Amino acid sequence: MKFHRHLAFLPLAAALLLAGTTIGAEAQNAPTTPPQTQMPMPGHHMTLKQRFEAANTTHDGKLTKAQAEAGMPMVARHFAAIDVDHDNTVTLPEIRKYMRAHRAELRSEMQQMRAQQPPATGTAQ
């Protein structure tokens, strides 16, 4: 009788064994490329570097004016001033240098932009 009870568990054991093999195979076939930079959910803070990387769709370390317009509108508005070497691209160090030199001006511009934005919808009050 004991032998028959053990036989009842064989299909379950086989299924678990096969499932483990399948999971292991999937893990081995998982892509090894690093994940792409993803935009955080709305309301989450992004660093300057994260915003730059998200806007830099060519991943060459430089933003064109079109990339800046699409992903970093403040940079696009000040593009000519930021592009100190006049190569029609801006780099993260160029943006940082400009931001340090014009911190008060940029802060005022950001406050004006925020004041013009409509309030967020769907928030509890």
Q: Give the span between the Cα atoms of 91 and 74, in whole angstroms.
A: 14
Name beta bridge partners: 8.
Answer: none
Class of domain 54-116: mainly alpha
Would you say the pTM of this structure is higher than 0.85? Answer: no
Average pLDDT over residues 90-99: 95
Going by C-alpha positions, the residue among 50, 16, 18, 14 that lies closest to residue 35 is 50
User: In the chain, where are the structural domains located?
Assistant: 54-116
How confident is the model at residue 60, as a pLDDT? 97
| Mean per-residue pLDDT, 56-63 | 97
Q: How many other CB atoms are found less than 10 A from the CB of residue 78?
A: 20
- Return left, alpha or beta for 41; rule: phi > 0 is left, psi -120 to 50 is alpha, else beta: beta
Cβ contacts of 57 within 8 Å, gap of 6 or more:
67, 70, 71
Q: What is the pLDDT of residue 81?
A: 95
Residue 66 structure tokens: 């079109």
